[in-house]
A and B are shown apart, each in its own frame.
Chain A
Amino acid sequence: MLDVVTYIQRQLDPTLAYRYACRVGMCGSCAMTVNGAARWTCRTHVDKVVRNETLEIAPLKNLPVIRDLVVDMREFFDKWARAKGHFHGARTRNEGFEPVKPDSEDRKAVDAGIECIGCGVCYASCDVVSWNPEYLGPAALNRAWTLVKDARETGTLERLRAVAGDAGCHACHTHMSCSERCPKQISPTAGIAGLKRAVLKSALRGEL
């Protein structure tokens, strides 16, 4: 699909605006809506998606369109920040490494969700995102989950507060479009379910 879009821009319409970078399925920049489904265009072969000899290429859903096939990703990353999707460790370079056992249940949970590259496919596929403008979305919540399960993290309570409520994990209705479409085989639904349980524990302890 990316070859098709590039051909169109180079040979047919030089004004066409679109995004790509690595071309080899590592960066996620080329995500677009192809025949209704969000996918990486560099990893989508025409054979797999053409229907009735037709291909419809559109920008990602649920995000403002800047021009043609390019969307404004700011809201996507703003929500990442609102979900406290950044790491706060306790140690400095002067202390030793904090040991993390790779086969612990917590670390396995983190590993299942850590490969996210922020491509936006899950966010574009989510019905709740389109129904609820404040909803943080699967990617931001999945990242928050990997940090909640990170043994080195110090900001867990603040993070749980950030992901609770109508704009957070509680708005997920387990449609699982995110898990089905994720090109990295991550299941944000699983992470969000984990957040629901973690928030519940915290709430029952009166911490929230």
Chain B
Amino acid sequence: MSRRGETRLWIAQRASAAVLAVCVVVHLITIVYAVRGGLSGAEILARTRGNVAWFAFYSLFVLAVTIHAPIGLRAIFAEWLRWRGRSADVTLLIFAAALAWLGMRAVMGVFV
């Protein structure tokens, strides 16, 4: 990859990290609230289904994860597995696509 491309990956990594910092805190508070509140499945889905705000939030969450995780793994592939170059990048792209697919499938299931 070109130096410009690698720089863009770094920027995307830090930007998605900032977004995730907020999303993760909100998510953990929400989950603890739901678990402690003893909400049943039906009660949770009643609150989440059709909720545009939460749908938007979790879609953003999934997008940020799809950007952040593969770029993080890319450094690990290169430094600990000595796996660099096109084959590593393509593998990570496929992983990103899988995360996006599974993530949006989950978001659709809970919020639509």
Instruction: Verify whether A and B have any Cβ pair under 8 Å.
Output: yes
- Determine whether the beta carbon of B78 is less than 8 Å from that of A208: no
Query: Given the complex of chains A and B, what is the CA–CA distance between A161 and B2 in angstroms?
Result: 10
Known: A200-B11, A203-B8, A203-B11. A165 touches B3 (CB 8 A): yes
**Interface size, B (range):** 10 to 19
B-side contacts of A132, CB under 8 Å: 78-79
Chain B proximity mask over A148-181: 1 for CB below 8 Å, otherwise 0? 0000000000000100111010110100000000
Point out which of B1, B7, B10, B75 has the most chain A C-beta atoms below 10 A from its C-beta.
B7
- The answer to whether A131 and B79 touch across the interface, beta carbons within 8 angstroms, is yes
B1-28 interface (Cβ within 8 A of A): 1-4, 6-8, 10-11
For A132, the closest partner residue in chain B by CB is B79
Q: Are B80 and A165 in contact (CB under 8 A)?
A: no
Q: Which of chain B's residues have a CB closer than 8 A to the CB of A128?
A: 79
Is residue A39 within 8 Å, beta carbon to beta carbon, of the partner chain? no
Residues of A within 8 A of B78 (CB): 131-132, 166
The interface on chain A, measured as residues whose beta carbon lies within 8 A of the other chain's beta carbons, has a size of: 16
Tell me if A70 is interfacial: C-beta within 8 Å of chain B.
no
Q: Quick check: B7 and A199 within 8 Å, CB to CB?
A: yes
Q: Which residues of B contact A208 (CB under 8 A)?
A: 3-4, 7
Partner of B3, one of A164, A173, A200: A164
State the CA gap A132–B6 with chains docked (Å): 15
Given A128-B79, A131-B79, A131-B80; A168-B11 close (CB under 8 Å): no
CA distance A173 to B75 in the complex (A): 10
User: A196 an interface residue at 8 Å Cβ cutoff?
Assistant: yes
Residues in A neighbouring B7, C-beta threshold 8 A: 164-165, 170, 199-200, 203, 208
A203: nearest residue on chain B (CB-CB)? B7
A97 to B78, CA, bound (A): 46
* Given A128-B79, A132-B78, A132-B79, A164 and B11 contact (CB-CB distance below 8 Å): no
Q: Is the CB of B3 within 8 A of A161?
A: yes
B36 to chain A, nearest CB (A): 36
- Chain A residues with Cβ under 8 A from B6's Cβ? 164-166, 170
> What are the nearest 8 A-B pairs in CB distance?
A165-B3, A165-B6, A131-B79, A170-B10, A164-B3, A164-B7, A166-B6, A203-B7
Interface residues of A (CB under 8 A from B): 128, 131-132, 161, 164-166, 168, 170-171, 173, 196, 199-200, 203, 208
Given contacts A199-B7, A200-B11, A203-B11, 17 further A-B contacts (CB under 8 A): A131-B78, A131-B79, A132-B78, A164-B3, A164-B4, A164-B7, A165-B1, A165-B3, A166-B6, A168-B3, A170-B6, A171-B75, A173-B75, A200-B7, A203-B4, A203-B7, A208-B7
**Which residues does B use to contact A, with CB under 8 Å?**
1-4, 6-8, 10-11, 75, 78-80
